[in-house]
Amino acid sequence: MSSPATLPVTNQQATQSQPPINTPAFRTFLSRLSSSLRASLSQRRPWLELIDRTSFARPDSLTDSISRIRKNLAYFKVNYAAIVSLVLAFSLLSHPFSLLVLLSLLGAWMFLYLFRSSDQPLVIFGRGFSDRETLLGLVVTTIVVVFMTSVGSLLTSALTVGVAVVCLHGAFRVPDDLFLDEQEPANAGLISFIGNSAAATSAAAASVVAGRV
């Protein structure tokens, strides 16, 4: 009597032992984020200089206001970015549901796509999804959450208030006593600073996305 055929058994234990996040890419992202934050905070101006009451005066005209705003943006860009971030954080903390939705969306991007091991397929309810399908689903979900719910209006309102506070301070703060770096262009303000910081902190994530697509 012949013995029964031996069925191949997959090593499920080895598969389950794989980490859900691509650890090297995640560590690279955290390292670049930490370096970017340290470099940005090193450019912060003293807060007492920002709120010096003797340096405030009413602008003579709209042109004078715009000129002051541009100079103050170039000098206090880190402080202004912190103010906008605080306004945004306060708005989110005052609306816990929106904060929970954004954190869930961020976690979905991190765990399901950005830092998930490329050799570990995404399986939901017994169905496997490719990287392109996962990316498409996350993009559609992000658009729906940001533009078709109250989360988008909350973010827009918070950013509007933060920018308004920055512009108001910049228009009334006399920049004559500020010593701007001669190598720094006059129009290098808050927007360019945020853009450079975002580009530096998202370099690791972008490389992961480029490798998957």
What's the chain's average pLDDT?
75
- Domain edges within the chain: 56-177
Burial environment of residue 154 by CB neighbours within 10 A (0 to 12, 13 to 18, 19 or more): buried
Task: Report pTM.
Answer: 0.65
Would the pLDDT of 97 be above 80? yes
Rounded to an integer, the average pLDDT of 24-51 is 72
Which range, 19-28, 29-38, 73-82, has the best average confidence (pLDDT)?
Answer: 73-82
Question: Which pair of tokens denotes residue 33?
Answer: 């984020």
Question: Which pair of tokens denotes residue 126?
Answer: 């017994």
Any alpha helices (H) in the chain, and if so which ranges?
Answer: 12-16, 23-41, 47-50, 62-75, 77-93, 96-109, 131-147, 150-172, 190-201, 203-212
Rounded to an integer, the average pLDDT of 97-126 is 80
Would the pLDDT of 162 be above 70? yes
Would the pLDDT of 40 be above 70? no
